Amino acid sequence: MMVPAPSLATSLNPATSTAEVKRAELREIDASTKWPALFLLGSAVGWLLIGTVFALISSFKMHSPEFLGNYEWLTFGRARTAHLNAVVYGWSVNASFAVAFWLMARLSRSVLRHSGLLIVAAVFWNVGVTLGIYGILAGDSTSIEWLEMPLYATPLLFLAYALVGAWAIITFRFGKSPHIYVSQWYILAALFWFPWLYSVAEIMIVFTPARGTVQALVNWWFAHNVLGLWFTPIGLAAVYYFLPKVLGKPIHSYYLSVLGFWSLAIFYNWAGVHHLIGGPVPAWVQSAGIAASFMMVVPVIVVAINHHMTMVGSFNALKYSPTLRFIVFGAVSYTLASLQGSSMAIRSWAEVTHFTHYTVGHSHIGMYAFFTMVMFGSIYYIMPRILLKEWPSATLISVHFWATAVGVIIYVVGLSIGGVLEGLLMNTPVLAHKLGLQPTDDPVPFLDIVRRTIPYLVSRSVAGVLMTVGHIAFAINFAWIIIRSTQPAASAPTLFRSPPDMEVAAQ
Amino acid sequence: MNRAPLIFLGIFFALAFSWTGIVLTNQISYGSLQPVYDETEGKSFPQQTPGLAARGKLVYQDLGCIYCHSQQVRRPGYGADIERGWGERQSVPRDYIRESRVLLGSMRTGPDLRNIGARQTDRTWQYLHLYDPQITSAGSIMPPHRFLFETRKIIGQPSPKAIQDKLPASARPPAGYEIVPTERAESLVAYLLSLKDTYAYPETKNVYVEPAAEAGKEEKK
């Protein structure tokens, strides 16, 4: 990393080695992504902190309703919604934009053109999200899950998105790489799918509402697909890029990655209806949703095998590379989240878990343990390359990893156990009685259920505090790497500890 | 070989498929369900939500009650919705056709509210519960909504809607003051009381009603 960046002209000098040329080219590309990436990632980290504060408030309120109980702006229904929108549209989307652009530029081997366009889009997006969250807190929420932002914020988001789309097409068209990498498939597909989902949902639920429960179908078609067709592809694109990159070896099987892509594309987008199992929508759509959810096992297993086989023989590298550690944690969580999701579509299991905290645990395996961890890993890789300096503190990275990893595990385990208990008592009293959880076959009073779930809700708050510690460590390191003067002493990439003599190909 | 167009086509059709299947097909097949006119009653069902209740629904939306309360009753034999007394029958698509915003909900941290207007008709109970759920339901984790009430000096006649006399001693205002629901609280409670799907549509008469569940219902009464 100490080599002064050669200009493109020197690096194209045929006298230099091809590796050197390639490295210089990459550096040129990375440099071109610097400002948009910094802006997006900076906003993302800001939203992460804001979202975390709202998360803690909501979590505390859930077991101690008097906590901040007199403030209408922070009442549970609003704080929780502000949390969701801040972490989804603030943190996750900003981070995914940055990672997607950076990957696109690298993979199409083209310097990032029109970065001004991207910055304008990013500004629009963030102003839109700010306005939207303000609206939610002020009482203008639409109460449509995942689409709560009021009407005066959404057009801005749409505009921002249109600019991003235009930019992506330009970059793709000017790409020099003859090959379309799997990561690019995922990113392009995601960039195309999202506006479609978003506009249909906004139009059919908010602008000209469809009649009756058709709205609910549109709602879950959208909300589940934001996960499946936006965050999942971007997360997987990052895994597919960084895993082989950090390990310095190719992905196990090209064929499997193609199969994984298409089966995801086809099955995922039907699965959302499983949120309405048992609800007032036609039975056949529910069955289709259940079937699609089962079929999701295919892409998931395929991707899991592919990633695992790539890792085999290199698990040692987890000790050294921060990027790898976060990414592998994320990849494993992806498999878990998806298999769990498929199982939750089984009618008799949905009967227990639907409407309970179990679902909340599940969504955090997906959005946090998978997606967010992958984004953390990606950011640890990207920042040093666009700033040309290393992370100031490996200890902070370590704190970040352990606090968030342990935190999210406590979170998920607590809510899963609590959620199943809640579900058994609430939905299947006969079964709960058989399991010895309640004295008779009759439903126990609702308040008993509430009382018995409180310990698990408290465990969630404990987990939340841990995750907050991790986020603060991350944010400090993030601000620090930006403001610290250039040229630190270290010339090697930041690792948790120096590898013995094993080569960690971290370039 | 440039495979980009092919890939793009695949990407397009993948989503087009579910969009057609989930969104379009259902919009066409039941997106224009009509109310049922009942000859004997001379009214059509479901009925329009009255004005005050419609405003209350906006309060329900802006406070985010939906994140703890669903509004859908599942069929007998699936879940324990009926046994819990959350409705006499399952909810059907027709129940929702008059609503410009459908609030099915996906969490039941609190009970389902689709028929709260049929099971908890006491307005004062609703006010007290909203003011502080601990008063009516000790141990509840529902947040207090004191901000929907106003403490004011009694001028002339005390308001008939005032609730301070029913509050625990420690929560009462000083003498000469009363606590009354604001307009938002009134409309919210009007909305809650309007929530009841008691009309039996043709499609609710014999779907899924298993004899066992019927018997259970009889016992409850």
Which residues does chain B have within 8 Å of residue A213's beta carbon, measured at their own beta carbons? 93, 96, 102, 104
Range of lowest pLDDT (A2-11, A227-236, A240-249, A411-420): A2-11
Model pLDDT for residues A173-199, shown as the tens digit of each residue:
776 666 778 888 888 889 888 888 898
Query: Which residue from B minimizes the CA distance to A430?
Result: B80
Model pLDDT for residues A425-450, shown as the tens digit of each residue:
999 999 999 999 999 889 999 999 99
| pLDDT at residue B221, rounded to an integer | 33
User: Sign of dihedral through CA atoms A205, A146, A216, A449?
Assistant: negative
Give the closest residue to A256 by CA, choosing from A306, A183, A308. Answer: A306
Helix axes A93-107, A34-63, angle to 10 degrees: 150
Residue B36, strand partner residues: B45
Residue with the larger pLDDT of the pair B150 and A170: B150
Q: What is the mean pLDDT of residues B119-146?
A: 95
Query: Which residue from B minimizes the CA distance to A276?
Result: B106
Q: Do B23 and A218 touch (CB under 8 A)?
A: yes
| pLDDT at residue A175, rounded to an integer | 67
What is the residue type of A324? L
Best probe of the B interface among A72, A355, A431, A452, by most B CBs < 10 A, is A355
Q: Do B74 and A279 touch (CB under 8 A)?
A: yes
Q: What is the mean pLDDT of residues A316-334?
A: 90
Q: What is the mean pLDDT of residues B110-118?
A: 95
| pLDDT at residue B145, rounded to an integer | 97
Q: What is the ipTM of this complex?
A: 0.89
Burial A83-99 (b: 16+ CB within 10 A, else e): bbbbbbbbbbbbbbbbb
Which residues does chain B have within 8 Å of residue A451's beta carbon, measured at their own beta carbons? 139
Which residues does chain A have within 8 Å of residue B109's beta carbon, measured at their own beta carbons? 62, 357, 450
Task: Using the predicted structure, report yes or no on whether residue B65 has a pLDDT greater than 90.
Answer: yes
**3-state DSSP assignment of residue B180:** strand
| pLDDT at residue A499, rounded to an integer | 60
| pLDDT at residue A6, rounded to an integer | 46
Helix runs in A369-502, H state only: 373-387, 394-427, 429-434, 446-483
DSSP A405-441: HHHHHHHHHHHHHHHHHHHHHHH-HHHHHHTTSSSSS
Q: How far is B15 from chain A (nearest CA, A)?
A: 7
Give the closest residue to A353 by CA, choosing from A275, A446, A290, A284. Answer: A275
Task: Using the predicted structure, report yes or no on whether residue A15 has a pLDDT greater than 70.
Answer: no
CA A275 to chain centre: 20
The label of the residue with tokens 């902070």 reads: A396
The label of the residue with tokens 């008939």 reads: B160
| pLDDT at residue B209, rounded to an integer | 45
Q: CA A402, CA A378: separation in Å to the nearest integer?
A: 17
Which residues does chain B have within 8 Å of residue A72's beta carbon, measured at their own beta carbons? 63, 147
For residues B70 and B108, is the Cβ–Cβ distance under 8 A? Answer: yes
Task: Using the predicted structure, report yes or no on whether residue B214 has a pLDDT greater than 70.
Answer: no
Which residues does chain B have within 8 Å of residue A63's beta carbon, measured at their own beta carbons? 141
| pLDDT at residue B1, rounded to an integer | 47
Minimal Cβ distance to A143: which of B64, B94, B110: B64
Q: Do A351 and B78 touch (CB under 8 A)?
A: yes
Q: Do B19 and A272 touch (CB under 8 A)?
A: no
Q: CA A421, CA A452: separation in Å to the nearest integer?
A: 8
Model pLDDT for residues B95-104, shown as the tens digit of each residue:
999 898 999 9
End-to-end Cα spacing for chain B = 73
DSSP A295-320: HTHHHHHHHHHHHHHHHTT-GGGGGT
Give the closest residue to A428 by CA, choosing from A444, A413, A452. Answer: A444
For residues A437 and A368, is the Cβ–Cβ distance under 8 A? Answer: no
Domains in chain A: ranges and CATH: 24-179 (1.20.120)
Which residues does chain A have within 8 Å of residue B15's beta carbon, measured at their own beta carbons? 193, 196-197, 225, 229, 265, 269
Q: What is the mean pLDDT of residues A317-334?
A: 91
For residues B115 and B86, is the Cβ–Cβ distance under 8 A? Answer: yes
Q: What is the mean pLDDT of residues B8-12?
A: 86
CA-based radius of gyration for chain B? 23
Task: Using the predicted structure, report yes or no on whether residue B167 has a pLDDT greater than 50.
Answer: yes
| pLDDT at residue A283, rounded to an integer | 87
Q: CA A350, CA A359: separation in Å to the nearest integer?
A: 10
For residues B174 and B154, is the Cβ–Cβ distance under 8 A? Answer: no
Give the closest residue to B28 by CA, choosing from A292, A265, A204. Answer: A204
Q: CA A274, CA A292: separation in Å to the nearest integer?
A: 9
**What integer best gives the mean pLDDT of chain A?**
88
Domains in chain B: ranges and CATH: 36-207 (1.10.760.10)
Q: How far is A42 from chain B (nearest CA, A)?
A: 30
Burial class (CB in 10 A: 0-12, 13-18, 19+), A318: middle
Burial class (CB in 10 A: 0-12, 13-18, 19+), A497: exposed
| pLDDT at residue B2, rounded to an integer | 66
The label of the residue with tokens 């987890």 reads: A318
